[in-house]
Chains A and B, each alone.
Chain A
Amino acid sequence: MTDDALRATIALPHRLRHGGFVVGAAIVGFVIVTALVGPMLVPHDPFAQDLVNRLVPPMWTDGGSAGHVLGTDQVGRDYLARLVYGARISLLIGLSTVLVSGLIGTTLGVAGGFFGGRVDDVVTFVITCRLAVPLILVALAVVSLVGSSFLVVVVTLGLLLWERFAVVARATSSQIRNLDYVAAARAAGCSRGYILLREVLPNILNPLIVVATLEMALAILLEAALSFLGLGVPPPLPSWGLMIAEARDYMFFQAWVIVIPGLALLVFVLGINLLGDGLRDLLAPESRA
């Protein structure tokens, strides 16, 4: 390595030296950008059916056309448009679910960990109850009872996926409760609420962010699973899980109809997990400048 190259490596911000973080951030960033501006750039309407041009293969295979880059599905809707629009659905489901579950789990966990005693007993009991609930089964039951809609899926998943937030928040805040800087803050005249917000929360944020990324990936997968079973977001909304479900009947004849949304799901979830792992390494206070 030349001196210049060496210097460049050293000068590189340390975030960019974490391979997993870079790849994960690139994937997630790409999906976010796609979800935001993609539907405006794709020429086709994801809902417009065209029964003449059904199951057109992608443009790089035999019989493909430049008009439909990724081909069309069984009712002639443009696959690229549906995939891009589906990114929006997946991202929205993931983010809103994590928001709901993160709020529930963190509140419960911090309350139990910080106040201890009876409060903690109750929190621990609620967590145990939640862990005893079979996730998919309850989600299926609720969705089939209430009917499937975007909101129902988000609320159901949000109410089911908070236990890891609670466990992590509880463990970390019960450690922090006994640290000297909390005692010092109380000695400086800080109220309990202030200490929770200012001394406890910022110091348990890092593990919670990592949990959030993992839960987001899980929520997206669960939504896909629910959609696959016909109980996720209702058609004709182009969710990736729904696309896989609809492609099921054709997978032996036109493999790409299931491979494309499947691959998108795989890459996105992988990206989120890589990002979460990277954040865990980089967010440690010791690595801050």
Chain B
Amino acid sequence: MTPILTVERLRVEIPVKAGLLRPVRGIDLALSAGETHGLVGESGSGKSLTALGIMGLLPRRARRSAAQLRLGDLDLLPLGERAMEDVRGDRLAMIFQEPMTSLNPAFTIGAQLTETLRRHRRVSRREALERAAAMLARVGISSPRTRLAQYPHQLSGGLRQRAMIAMALLCEPRLLIADEPTTALDVTVQAQILRLLAELQRAMGLAILLITHDLSVVARVAQCVSVMYAGEIVETGAVADVFARPMHPYTRGLLSAVPVPGKVKRGEPLGTIAGVVPSLVGEIDGCAFRTRCPAAHDACVRPVPVRTAGAGRRYRCHLSPGATEAPP
């Protein structure tokens, strides 16, 4: 089966006063149909810029380069702005973090949904409305016809996120990039939205790139996970595998920072990772995590090897698994 999304050595570079900011430093990703791939990392690790890089929506000063960037059979690298506009919203869709501001307050839900559809498909206004209503029903919005005539401010956060999902999926994209889709929602609504995404994915054979800093969200819906640190993917593999046996000290640090009821005793301090993400201006020699790594040693200043551990499981670390389990 050909993968839906193939990303090889994607880089994003932004010239700034201090030099060349390099927030994405050569990442690889591969998603196949029906797969949810979680991309996790702390703020400033380059997750969102990776997504914008794939979408071709980077800030104007930013430069993108990659060895490969394909959506199905389509090579996205040589496409100009016009050609990308045709791809975006059609085969490639994205939903954002803030449902409260992701809809245009000046138009009704119906107007916004049909615009997207009529932009990419030759359908009549009537048919577009018909399909918009059907899609709203599909994302679990009751009385969709009434909702179509309403303005965004009349909808709750959960409903708006459902409407956003409906808008993103109207043209039946192959890949959905979800940038922190549930961060701004309360926990119960969050669970509903995640369940909805999973259902739609199964029905439509959609590939989802789920960007989040919430490991529990990844654990719940994703099959694969990539952990990003300082613009690089430091560890990738199947979710169950990575969460059960984290190879990279950073992954281990992230996991220990999550409170698990029953496992972490009350009053016991959660794990933290001291320090902050290093400056992303210029090249980073050796391991970017060594300044914060509890297991760092002399070898960490040298270029980092990519190690494999089982099928689809890769991580970037100088330490062998045995050594990292008992840091010197």
Taking beta carbons and an 8 Å cutoff, which residues of A are in contact with B?
117, 179-181, 183-191, 198-199, 202-203, 205, 285-286, 288
Complex CA–CA separation, A86 to B88 (angstroms): 56
Q: Determine if A187 and B89 form an interchain contact, defined as CB atoms under 8 angstroms apart.
A: yes
Residues of B within 8 A of A198 (CB): 104, 115
Complex CA–CA separation, A187 to B57 (angstroms): 8
Q: Determine if B86 and A189 form an interchain contact, defined as CB atoms under 8 angstroms apart.
A: yes
Residues of B within 8 A of A189 (CB): 84-90, 116, 119-120
Q: Determine if B98 and A187 form an interchain contact, defined as CB atoms under 8 angstroms apart.
A: no
B6 in the interface (beta carbon within 8 A): no
B267 to chain A, nearest CB (A): 39
| A184-B151 contact given A190-B119, A191-B85, A285-B105, CB 8 Å threshold | no
A218 to chain B, nearest CB (A): 27
Q: Determine if B88 and A203 form an interchain contact, defined as CB atoms under 8 angstroms apart.
A: no
**B93, B101, B105, B119: the one within 8 Å of A187 (CB):** B93
Q: Determine if A203 and B105 form an interchain contact, defined as CB atoms under 8 angstroms apart.
A: yes
A287 to chain B, nearest CB (A): 10
**B89, B95, B106, B120: the one within 8 Å of A285 (CB):** B106
A201 to chain B, nearest CB (A): 9
Q: Determine if B94 and A187 form an interchain contact, defined as CB atoms under 8 angstroms apart.
A: yes
B102 in the interface (beta carbon within 8 A): yes
**A183, A199, A288: the one within 8 Å of B151 (CB):** A288
Which chain B residue has the least Cβ–Cβ distance from A187?
B94
A195 to chain B, nearest CB (A): 10
Complex CA–CA separation, A288 to B93 (angstroms): 30
In terms of DSSP, what is the predominant structure of the interface of chain A? helix
| A181-B89 contact given A188-B119, A202-B107, CB 8 Å threshold | no
Q: Determine if B93 and A188 form an interchain contact, defined as CB atoms under 8 angstroms apart.
A: yes
A137 to chain B, nearest CB (A): 40
12 A-B pairs besides A186-B88, A285-B153 with CB distance below 8 A are A184-B102, A184-B167, A187-B55, A187-B93, A187-B168, A188-B89, A189-B85, A189-B86, A189-B87, A189-B120, A191-B85, A199-B104
Complex CA–CA separation, A188 to B57 (angstroms): 11
The number of residues on chain B lying at the interface, defined by a beta carbon within 8 Å of a beta carbon of chain A, is: 33
Taking beta carbons and an 8 Å cutoff, which residues of B are in contact with A?
55, 57, 60, 82, 84-90, 93-98, 101-107, 115-116, 119-120, 151, 153, 164, 167-168
In terms of DSSP, what is the predominant structure of the interface of chain B? mixed
Residues of B within 8 A of A188 (CB): 88-89, 93, 116, 119, 167-168
Complex CA–CA separation, A219 to B307 (angstroms): 74
Which chain B residue has the least Cβ–Cβ distance from A179?
B101
Complex CA–CA separation, A117 to B59 (angstroms): 12
Residues of B within 8 A of A203 (CB): 104-106
Q: Determine if A285 and B151 form an interchain contact, defined as CB atoms under 8 angstroms apart.
A: yes
Complex CA–CA separation, A23 to B166 (angstroms): 44
Residues of A within 8 A of B84 (CB): 189
Interface centre among B84, B85, B87, B104 (most CB of A within 10 A): B104
Which chain B residue has the least Cβ–Cβ distance from A285?
B105
B87 to chain A, nearest CB (A): 7
A to B CB contacts below 8 Å, 25 in the list? A180-B96, A180-B102, A181-B102, A183-B57, A184-B94, A184-B96, A186-B57, A187-B55, A187-B93, A187-B96, A188-B116, A189-B84, A189-B85, A189-B86, A189-B88, A189-B116, A198-B104, A198-B115, A199-B104, A202-B106, A202-B107, A203-B104, A285-B106, A285-B153, A286-B153
Residues of A within 8 A of B116 (CB): 188-189
Q: Determine if A184 and B164 form an interchain contact, defined as CB atoms under 8 angstroms apart.
A: yes
Q: Determine if B167 and A180 form an interchain contact, defined as CB atoms under 8 angstroms apart.
A: no
Residues of B within 8 A of A185 (CB): 104
Complex CA–CA separation, A202 to B112 (angstroms): 13
A143 to chain B, nearest CB (A): 40
